[in-house]
Structure 1
Amino acid sequence: MIIAAGLSPAWQQILEVDQLRTGEVNRCRTAHWCASGKVINVGIALQHLEVPNKTIFPAGGPIRTFIEQDLDLLKVRYRVLDQQNPTRICTTVLDQSSGQTTELVENASPLSEKELNAFSNEFNRWVSKANIVVLSGSLPAGTLATFYRDLIAVADCPVILDARGPELETALSQKPFLVKPNLEELERTLSCSLSNTKELIEGMQEINRRGADWVVISQGNASLWATSGDQVFRFTPPPVKGVNPIGCGDSLAAGIAAGLYREWTIPDAIRWGMAAAADNLTQLLPARLSLPKVQAFYEEVELEQIA
């Protein structure tokens, strides 16, 4: 079983406009709503990739009902924990004239100590059944940066961590199997600019030295890089006409986890993750993947071992 866990789910509003004009009234061509946020996107992607899964997250307010109804419709297996503060709403604006995506992100509501303890206890109850764990999403204000570190400490299986900054840095002491910050998040974690490929690889291998077995850095439509202590791989994604990029990183994490669950090699698991991300890019709603399309994209991902 793959456990997806995180503290920052969201209800997603996706608006399509002919042309986004800031400072003016914009009328939408279409509007869509769905359960989202990184942890939920991972769970939805895992369900579409047809691997055993469980998604654990807190939710509160009227949005909780909407999220549960959407996940029930998708047959996602989940455990939702009580949260007094309302779950956030995030908005994606798709500008059809420019192809640009604008994301309006509401920060996740703070959780009380009691709510955080309840989440940790529920995670501990399920992690003993897990083959793979995916921890993802920002930590709500007031949550200790050591929160993910403490979850990894009780996991007796590979952990994929999608986090940045202090929560990533503190978690490295527990040696997560794979971390996947994007370039901006990696630079923030290392407190330096990585302006070329050589610096990027050196920065990734610094994270390897600090404790991560594997580091994966995606850069949108550009090459994805993966490093271990002594190996460097470059992956080239298939050409895809993008619809909505939201959820691509989450689909990447889910795809890698699914590959690991099936006991594939690390490079092949990453290729599967890239295929899931490519399919996500073609979808309007995040993480609603098509398994046949993922398989087709997998065959198109190019892999090169650099070192």
Structure 2
Amino acid sequence: MICTVTLNPSLDYTVELEQLQPGGLNRTRTESVRPGGKGLNVALMLNRLGQPVRALAFAAGYTGHMLAGQLADAGLPAELLWAREGMTRINVKVKAGEETEINGRGPVLGPSHLEELASRLAVLEEGDWVVLAGSLPAGLPDDTYARLLMPLTARGVRAVVDAEGAVLSAALTAHPFLIKPNRPELEALAGRALSTREELFDAARTLQEKGAANVLLSLGGEGAALLTSSGERLFCPAPQGKAVDTVGAGDSMVAGFLSGWLTTGRWAEALRMGVAAGSASAFSPWIARREQVWALYDSVLI
């Protein structure tokens, strides 16, 4: 079983304008509303790649009900945990030459919410997978992922963490199977710019020393790199294509990597599938379809 967890999902409201006039009337050229949140994006891509997945997420208010409906329409009936106060956040993305983002706050979660989540995760057994991805909502401490993971990894559940900063640093103490920082996140943790591939791998090895088994580096248009628990270093350039919307591309990479690993058990094939899935989503308006991923797969080389 693969279980994804999204503590602070969203509705992503994206509008495109000819130009943005602050203080004036602006009319959209195109607009869309889609479910958002890193864990949900991972679950959507896993689902499209044919991997059974259980998607857990918190929701609140009327926007939470809209999120549930949109996920069902996308073929992913998520298992939502409801917060009584607040509402599922709305993230506004304004595209007018350059992109401006306004992210909502979301509901405030507390210890009782985490206890409910932990009870849902308690059914996971040795050999199962859990993916914790995204930022924490207000009210939760930086070690939230670590505390959720400790009892799971202790009994053989394999964990994947896609977070940043103090949240990721704390999660390393739970010894996740895989983490996926991007270049800016890795540089922030390293405290310096990382300009060469050697420097990237050295910084990734530091994260291994702190607890991560394998480190998948998302490098945007450059592709991705992987440092395995055995010290193997793999690099995979991104295929050629025009980026349409990079939101969800890194999450799709995580899902593609997991799907490739579960299907073949080989690092190179997992990395190829990860880059194919991430690139396919970057070349699409939203999370790519299965056929779009496979259309790119043969052009992705380690």
Scaled by the length of structure 1, the TM-score of the pair is: 0.90
In 2, distance between residues paired with 1:201 and 1:105?
Answer: 32
In 1, distance between residues paired with 2:19 and 2:269?
Answer: 40
Q: Is the 8 A contact 1:12 1:36 kept in 2?
A: yes
Structure 1 unaligned blocks of 5 or more: none
The residue aligned with 1:41 is 41
Amino acid at match of 2:232: Q
The 4+ residue runs of structure 1 with deviation greater than 6 A are none
Describe the shift of the 1:165–1:301 C-alpha distance in structure 2 as closer, same or farther (beyond 3 A).
Answer: same
In the TM superposition, what are the counterparts of 1:254-273 in structure 2 within 5 Å?
A: 254-273=255-274
* Bigger mean CA deviation after superposition, 52-61 or 169-178: 169-178
1:262 partner SS: helix
After TM superposition, give the deviation of residue 150 of structure 1 in Å: 2.3
1:35 partner SS: strand
Match of 1:128 among 121, 125, 129: 125
The residue aligned with 2:232 is 231
Q: Which has the higher contact order (CA 8 A, sep 6+)?
A: 1
The residue aligned with 2:173 is 173
Q: Is the 8 A contact 1:9 1:58 kept in 2?
A: yes
Q: Is the 8 A contact 2:223 2:275 kept in 1?
A: no
* Root mean square deviation, CA, Å: 1.9
**Superimposed CA distance per residue, residues 112-160 of structure 1 (whole angstroms, 9 cap, x where no aligned partner):** 22112111211223x2386322110111232122221122221423221
In 1, distance between residues paired with 2:198 and 2:136?
Answer: 31
The residue aligned with 2:243 is 242
The residue aligned with 1:204 is 204
Amino acid at match of 2:245: N
Describe the shift of the 1:52–1:129 C-alpha distance in structure 2 as closer, same or farther (beyond 3 A).
Answer: farther
The residue aligned with 2:218 is 218
1:85 partner SS: coil
1:280 partner SS: helix
In the TM superposition, what are the counterparts of 1:99-178 in structure 2 within 5 Å?
A: 100-125=98-123, 127-128=124-125, 131-153=128-150, 154-155=152-153, 156-178=156-178
Structure 2 unaligned blocks of 5 or more: none
In 1, distance between residues paired with 2:118 and 2:266?
Answer: 31
Amino acid at match of 1:87: T
Amino acid at match of 1:216: L
Q: How many residues are paired up?
A: 297
**Superimposed CA distance per residue, residues 165-190 of structure 1 (whole angstroms, 9 cap, x where no aligned partner):** 12211221221111001111112223
After TM superposition, give the deviation of residue 38 of structure 1 in Å: 1.0
In 2, distance between residues paired with 1:101 and 1:276?
Answer: 23
In 1, distance between residues paired with 2:199 and 2:114?
Answer: 38
Scaled by the length of structure 2, the TM-score of the pair is: 0.91
2:62 is the counterpart of 1:62: yes
In 2, distance between residues paired with 1:196 and 1:278?
Answer: 22
After TM superposition, give the deviation of residue 297 of structure 1 in Å: 1.0
Q: Is the 8 A contact 1:94 1:244 kept in 2?
A: no
Amino acid at match of 1:231: E
Q: Is the 8 A contact 2:68 2:77 kept in 1?
A: no
In 1, distance between residues paired with 2:71 and 2:260?
Answer: 23
1:28 partner SS: coil
In 2, distance between residues paired with 1:48 and 1:187?
Answer: 32
Amino acid at match of 2:28: C
Q: Is the 8 A contact 1:2 1:261 kept in 2?
A: no
In the TM superposition, what are the counterparts of 1:75-86 in structure 2 within 5 Å?
A: 75-83=75-83, 84-86=85-87
Amino acid at match of 1:232: R
